[in-house]
Copies of this chain bind each other. A is one copy, B any other.
Amino acid sequence: MKKSLIALAVLAASGAAMAQSSVTVFGVVDEAVTYVNGADNWNGINSGGNATSRIGFRGVEDLGGGLKANFWLEAGILADSGSGQSGGASGSGLEFKRRSTVGLEGGFGEVRLGRDLTEAYKATSRYDVFGQVGLGVSRLWADANAVALTNQRVSNMITYVSPNISGFKAAVNYGFGEVAGENRDSRYVGAGLTYDNGPLSLGLSGERSNRGANSNLTRDVTAWALGGSYDLGVVKLSAAYRDSSAKIVSGDKNKAKGYYLGLSAPVGAAGEVKASYNRYEGEIAGADKHKADQFALGYVHNLSKRTAVYGTYAYIKNKDDGALGQTLGTAATLKDNGSQHGLQVGIRHAF
């Protein structure tokens, strides 16, 4: 009883702050000094070397009877300049382009409406030891070749996520194309299946995004991916494969595929070392064929659960530095031999 009296006093005393318990303000500010070697060397400050800089507002409300409502609004930030980062696009005002959803969850699983990462993307990209950011990022899911593009995030989606059944979870997305008079145009359909049990984790994903009569570029982009990891304790091994293709106007297909291998290992109480290898292969129908190999090595030193300093080294080597040549940084260009290496050292703080 005394405890509840105190609790009441707390409620009385903290007023507005308690009223705030329905919303959590969260985010990350991550910036790194970056150097990229190439035909034109580049150095500067990059936002998000270890985790994407962001700010968000989220909450969960218990509706009783096992039912919960939730919302999630999350905006990307280019912390080096203070601009918003709108789902990849840079330089604009703050937008909740990383996630903007409302949902209901219960024994049946979860139903969500809005913009989010696709379940296909989430099911397999989670095996990237570099967390899909920074110089070491695996671009299997980014499709840097842009020959068979699928979006990591899609607007106007209905999402269903199943409950966890013996470690298995299935999730599907349907993204409306919202083109009047056309149900298929710009539509997105995808699914992710995951299995997580002890040291073993597996993910499988498939997706199709339609571009109808309104598009003169590509239509019916199809992609699938497979990934997994196994935690041996001293080291955690991970691997993934992704394949995507796009029917173009001529009827031919552009193709992209990629292989990923990664490992991460704890170093002492606060450190983590990680390494990855990526192979990218792309083909523009009847035109260009291309291969690139990427190696990355990283170290993260955790100063607390929320704060870390980190360093990342990455090297890329293109077998063909033509139109499909891949670079480590957007502002830098490849050397004559098609290679490039980069280094970044930064601070990541989560709140």
Contact = CB atoms under 8 A, between A and B. Distances in A.
Contacts of A73: 27, 29, 55, 77, 79, 82
A346 B101 CA distance: 12
Contacts of A146: none
A304 B69 contact: yes
A16 to B, nearest CB: 4
A213 interface: no
Given A81-B100, A178-B331, A183 B45 contact: no
A332 interface: yes
Contacts of A14: 10, 14, 17-18, 21
B181 A307 contact: no
A323 interface: no
Interface string A214-250: 0000000000000000000000000000000000000
A24 to B, nearest CB: 5
Contacts of A63: 303-304, 307
A155 interface: yes
A195 interface: no
Interface stretch (A87-95, A204-212, A282-290): A87-95
B77 A96 contact: yes
A113 interface: yes
A99 B45 CA distance: 15
A337 interface: no
A155 B81 contact: yes
A156 to B, nearest CB: 4
A168 interface: no
B20 A303 contact: no
B17 A102 contact: no
A269 interface: no
A41 B95 CA distance: 29
Interface stretch (A1-9, A123-131, A258-266): A1-9
Interface in A62-77: 63-64, 67, 69-71, 73, 75, 77
Contacts of A44: 156, 176-178
Interface in A256-295: none
A158 interface: yes
5 contacts: A10-B10, A14-B18, A79-B102, A81-B100, A180-B333
Given A44-B177, A79-B101, A83-B97, 9 more contacts: A22-B306, A25-B25, A25-B57, A61-B306, A69-B304, A81-B100, A81-B156, A82-B86, A93-B94
Closest 3 CB pairs of A and B: A93-B93, A40-B181, A82-B100
